[in-house]
Amino acid sequence: MTEEVLRIEGLRKAYGLLEVLKGIDLTVHRGETVCLIGASGSGKSTLLRCVNFLGYPTEGRIYLEGRLIGRESGGKMAYRESKLCAVRTHVGMVFQQFNLFPHLTVEENVTIGPIKIRGVPPAVAHEKAAEQLRRVGILDKAKDYPSQLSGGQQQRVAIARALAMEPSIMLFDEATSALDPELVGEVLVAMRKLAEDGTTMLVVTHELGFAYNVAHRVVFLHEGTIYEEGPPQEILVRPRRPRTQDFLRGHTAFRMPEPEMTPAAAVDG
């Protein structure tokens, strides 16, 4: 785990006068799963959105696969939307609200990116889509429309859609927060499988059990700064600093270590 996929240096992001991110330095290596935890409003979503430029950083540098994104001019970074489109194809994003395209079938949701952006021939794209859908265990729904699926199934399709672009890194923004409790498990199982396959992932989550069992590293974000970070066994079990301790005390439902997550156990909740 030496090769850097993502490197964030001195990232700041302000909305008007409100500075949400106050200088973030973070590196994610190939095959690594980093979990980002923190209270609501601490800037987790903002950080992810900066990484694939759904929001532009106010200051700081972002390197993807070793390449600096944007153009440097006068100590500041300048971004061109047309260039960023290409960057985003290398960064997969999974949203809290799934955001599947309701007018397209599951299969079309997954193939539209490769076909329209990469120019992959439809036959090849469909083959690859089937592979990704199988990975997340939802191949049998390929011809269905999103509205015919449960929340958990939709979210797994959204994961497959992002994977189909063969991104360097996958970003998950509270991928299970909008789901009914009994559906959370199936999505976590799918994510865990990706992590074990060696997918590079940056995961915002409130599922501390997932972080404990799957993450290589846990990062605790507090008021726009990285307040504490380290291996899950340290951060989640023996946090050193007071804010982290407070945060973890708030998560009483946290079972640790989480019972081994087999699909059957996950479905039971």
Partner 1 sequence: MAYEWDFAFLWVLWPHLLVGLAGTAKLWAVALICGLGIGLVVGIFRTAPSRILRSIGTVYVEAIRNTPGLIQLIWFYYAIPMVTGWQASAWLAAVVSLSIYTGAYSAEIYRAGIASIERGQWEAARAIGFGFGAQMRYIVLPQALMRMIPAFGNRAIELAKATTLASTIAFGELLYTAKVIAEDQMRPLETYTAVTVIFTVILLPVSYGCVWFERRLARRGGVHRD
Distance CA 188, CA 105 (A): 23
Question: Residue count at the site for partner 1 (CB under 8 A)?
Answer: 31
Of 93 and 179, nearer to partner 1 (C-beta) is 93
DSSP strands (E only) in 42-200 = 59-64, 67-68, 71-73, 76-78, 91-94, 169-173
Q: Is 95 in the site for partner 1 (CB under 8 A)?
A: yes
CB neighbour class for 8 (10 Å; exposed up to 12, middle 13-18, buried from 19): buried
Q: Is 8 in the site for partner 1 (CB under 8 A)?
A: no
For residue 54, the partner it binds in partner 1, Mg ion, ligand ADP, none, with Cβ less than 5 to 8 A by kind, is partner 1
DSSP assignments along 214-257, one per residue: H-SEEEEEETTEEEEEE-HHHHTTS--SHHHHHHHHH-TT--SS
Q: Are 129 and 107 in contact (CB under 8 A)?
A: yes
* Closest residue to Mg ion: CB criterion: 45
Q: Which stretch binds partner 1 (CB under 8 A): 18-26, 78-86, 129-137, 230-238?
A: 78-86
- Tokens 């190939």 correspond to 30
Residue 97 structure tokens: 């609200």
Residue 6 structure tokens: 């993502």
- The CB-of-146 to partner 1 minimum distance in angstroms stands at 7
Q: 3-class DSSP state for residue 180?
A: coil
Binding to ligand ADP, residues 21-50 (CB under 6 A)? 38, 40-46
Q: Which stretch binds partner 1 (CB under 8 A): 100-108, 127-135, 181-189, 193-201?
A: 100-108
For residue 165, the partner it binds in partner 1, ligand ADP, Mg ion, none, with Cβ less than 5 to 8 A by kind, is partner 1
Report in angstroms the alpha-carbon separations of 232 from 134, 213, 218, 254: 29, 8, 5, 13
**The residue type at 200:** T
Answer for which of 1, 66, 67, 97 binds partner 1 (CB under 8 A) is 97
Of 129 and 226, nearer to Mg ion (C-beta) is 226
- Tokens 């973070």 correspond to 26
- The CB-of-54 to partner 1 minimum distance in angstroms stands at 6
Q: Is 197 in the site for partner 1 (CB under 8 A)?
A: no
Which residues form the interface with partner 1 (CB under 8 A)? 52, 54, 81-82, 85-89, 91-93, 95, 97, 99-103, 112-113, 116-117, 145-148, 158, 161-162, 165
